[in-house]
Chains A and B, each alone.
Chain A
Amino acid sequence: MKLITAIIKPFKLEDVKSGLEAFGLSGLTVSEASGFGRQGGHTEVYRGAEYTVDLIPKVRIEVLVDDDVVDAVVDVIVASAQTGKIGDGKVWVVPVETVVRVRTGERGSQAL
């Protein structure tokens, strides 16, 4: 099993969500995040005083999947989150030792 984490632009969440649903994924976790990469921040001006806003709002998506679909799911996320402009985000994959469904106590792939 693998954990796929994706950092994407907030307004791309709907596209990614519907892309993953169409693929047949049964669940995901979403949280608000902020940060910066090569995109950097932007500047805002208040009464003539300039502030640099370094941390850009992003959305973090986490999905747990079986090993055999990892690449396909990553492809779906990348395809649906892409705008081609700087600041589109990152996706990474890490191995997961085990997963437990809290309601039933099922473990491993059955819990996905």
Chain B
Amino acid sequence: MPALNTGDTAWVLAATSMVLLMTPGLAFFYGGMTRAKSTLNMMMMSFITIAIVSVLWVIFGYSLAFGDSGSAYYGAFDLSGLGSAVNELTNNGGVYPIPLLAFAGFQLMFAVITPALISGAIADRTKFVAWGVFVTLWATIVYFPVAHWVFDFGTKDDAGNITGAGWLAALGVEDFAGGTAVHINAGAAALALAILLGKRVGWRKDPMRPHNLTLVMIGAGLLWFGWFGFNAGSALGANGTAALALMNTQVATAAALGGWLLVEKVRDGHPTSLGAASGAVAGLVAITPGCAFVAPWGAVLIGLIAGVVCAMAVGLKYRFGFDDSLDVVGVHLVGGILGCLLIGFFGTHTVNSVGIDGIFYGGGATLLGKQAIGVVAVLAYSMIIAFILGFAIDKTIGFRISRDSELEGIDVTEHLESAYDLDSRGGASGGGILASAAHASPKNTATEA
């Protein structure tokens, strides 16, 4: 049994922290794109997802995704029991010289951001409690098992036998950091919920332009930074594969940013800051599954294709009439599908000894076929289950706030807060404390005097 490697461990711990930061980054990215009256709710949907999924993970989520029951479709129905694993090494299709808890923490951050990604499709109109219920159910029934399908390469025993690998991983679907399990998964659920909840009041009639593009740019920057942890961290070690993933992530994102702006310049006349931020995210999404399986020149082309195609795909919602408010489908679903399928063309064993050659390297269409199976399986499962869960929530506790609340603004009606007070006149009075809080605090001597 190999000894723990401190360099690998240090990198995975750092990468874990970077991936955590992506969810608040997503909150900025989405929050800036909503109207001022619903930005807090948008950001809270990401923050509550961190809270819910982290707790689920330690109770049963890790076990359901990576537990060893021998099934190809789910981990195990045990409690995670992570406390007893302090001195164990990671075993995922082979032993990695990092603590199991580092792997579990790293994978937790993926489980956190995936449901959070969905929230952009249902901005401005979702009951906060219903969102929490949805996140709990969707993470449990969809994300944890799908993570097992894709990310669990099984447990390798001392004799070299592997048991309990996920069915897509065993099939040979190449998804290094989550094109299927994260982006297609979230994008498909986003499409289901956008259809189920319906359009925002006044969609395509009232102005719904982004209220703060500087927040969007900050969010895109944080996502870009965190994504190095996401992709290069998925090597689970400080090694050449991690470096390849990092380089590919950078150049694909750069090319996608340029590709999106090119479409805007040609089609609309002006390259926009929202386009730059969106293009960067589209590139990050598209390179996620293939970042350790393609050469950097392939990454540039994957990014460029994703930037151009996603820039055009965000217009589809107007043609089909569904209000995917912040384009989760156009960026994450479309970008995820592109990224997964393009490995079938650009994949090569020359950069990764376990990689398989795609069409451009004389490998034929076998890999592309496997990639397509992965895409369709995750897309269909996530979308169907999200629709059923959403329908059930809507018929019981209600999934959408009232029309009046939506018009007034969800920040005030769901959270009793306003994001901004830029008025020097204040416009509010008081500054007192609630009766319940006053009871427990010392008497205010100023009022007695």
* A residues in contact (CB < 8 Å) with B: 44-49, 51-53
B318 within 8 A of A: yes
Q: Mark B288-321, 1 if CB is under 8 A from A, else 0.
A: 0000000000000000000000010011001000
Interface centre among A44, A47, A48 (most CB of B within 10 A): A47
Report chain A residues within 8 Å CB of B311.
47-48
Compute how far the CA of A49 lies from the CA of B269 in the bound complex, rounded to whole angstroms: 13
Compute how far the CA of A75 lies from the CA of B204 in the bound complex, rounded to whole angstroms: 45
Compute how far the CA of A48 lies from the CA of B268 in the bound complex, rounded to whole angstroms: 7
Please give 18 more A-B residue pairs, beta carbons under 8 A apart, in addition to A47-B327, A51-B209.
A44-B209, A45-B268, A45-B269, A45-B270, A45-B272, A46-B272, A46-B274, A47-B275, A47-B278, A47-B315, A48-B264, A48-B267, A48-B268, A48-B311, A48-B314, A49-B315, A51-B207, A52-B207
Contact B267 A46 (CB under 8 A): no
Report chain A residues within 8 Å CB of B275.
47
Interface centre among A45, A46, A48, A51 (most CB of B within 10 A): A48
Contact A49 B318 (CB under 8 A): yes
Contact A46 B210 (CB under 8 A): yes
Distance between A52 CB and nearest chain B CB, rounded to angstroms:
8
Report chain A residues within 8 Å CB of B264.
45, 48
Report chain A residues within 8 Å CB of B207.
51-53
Which bucket holds chain B's interface residue count? 10 to 19
Compute how far the CA of A48 lies from the CA of B311 in the bound complex, rounded to whole angstroms: 8
Report chain A residues within 8 Å CB of B268.
45, 48
Compute how far the CA of A53 lies from the CA of B207 in the bound complex, rounded to whole angstroms: 8
Contact A47 B270 (CB under 8 A): no
Distance between B130 CB and nearest chain A CB, rounded to angstroms:
27
Contact B315 A48 (CB under 8 A): yes
Report chain A residues within 8 Å CB of B209.
44, 46, 51
Between A and B, 20 residue pairs with Cβ closer than 8 Å are A44-B209, A45-B264, A45-B269, A45-B270, A46-B209, A46-B272, A46-B274, A47-B274, A47-B275, A47-B278, A47-B314, A47-B327, A48-B267, A48-B268, A48-B314, A48-B315, A49-B315, A49-B318, A52-B207, A53-B207
Compute how far the CA of A9 lies from the CA of B298 in the bound complex, rounded to whole angstroms: 51
The 10 closest A-B pairs by CB, nearest first: A45-B268, A51-B209, A47-B314, A48-B315, A46-B209, A51-B207, A46-B274, A46-B210, A47-B274, A48-B314
Report chain B residues within 8 Å CB of A44.
209
Compute how far the CA of A52 lies from the CA of B208 in the bound complex, rounded to whole angstroms: 11
Compute how far the CA of A45 lies from the CA of B207 in the bound complex, rounded to whole angstroms: 12
Compute how far the CA of A83 lies from the CA of B162 in the bound complex, rounded to whole angstroms: 78
Compute how far the CA of A109 lies from the CA of B93 in the bound complex, rounded to whole angstroms: 91
Compute how far the CA of A47 lies from the CA of B310 in the bound complex, rounded to whole angstroms: 10
Compute how far the CA of A52 lies from the CA of B210 in the bound complex, rounded to whole angstroms: 13
Report chain B residues within 8 Å CB of A49.
315, 318
Instruction: Output the nearest chain A residue to B270 by Cβ-Cβ distance.
Output: A45
Distance between A31 CB and nearest chain B CB, rounded to angstroms:
12
Distance between A58 CB and nearest chain B CB, rounded to angstroms:
18
Q: Mark B188-208, 1 if CB is under 8 A from A, else 0.
A: 000000000000000000010
Instruction: Output the nearest chain A residue to B208 by Cβ-Cβ distance.
Output: A51
Compute how far the CA of A49 lies from the CA of B268 in the bound complex, rounded to whole angstroms: 10
Report chain B residues within 8 Å CB of A46.
209-210, 272, 274
Report chain B residues within 8 Å CB of A53.
207
Distance between B415 CB and nearest chain A CB, rounded to angstroms:
25
Q: Mark B249-289, 1 if CB is under 8 A from A, else 0.
A: 00000000000000010011110101100100000000000
Compute how far the CA of A46 lies from the CA of B268 in the bound complex, rounded to whole angstroms: 10
Instruction: Output the nearest chain B residue to A44 by Cβ-Cβ distance.
Output: B209
Q: Mark B7-45, 1 if CB is under 8 A from A, else 0.
A: 000000000000000000000000000000000000000
- Interfacial residues of chain B within 96-146, with CB under 8 A of chain A in the complex: none
Distance between A106 CB and nearest chain B CB, rounded to angstroms:
27
Distance between A56 CB and nearest chain B CB, rounded to angstroms:
14
Report chain A residues within 8 Å CB of B269.
45
Instruction: Output the nearest chain A residue to B327 by Cβ-Cβ distance.
Output: A47
Distance between A32 CB and nearest chain B CB, rounded to angstroms:
11
Compute how far the CA of A21 lies from the CA of B315 in the bound complex, rounded to whole angstroms: 53
Distance between A51 CB and nearest chain B CB, rounded to angstroms:
5
Report chain A residues within 8 Å CB of B210.
46
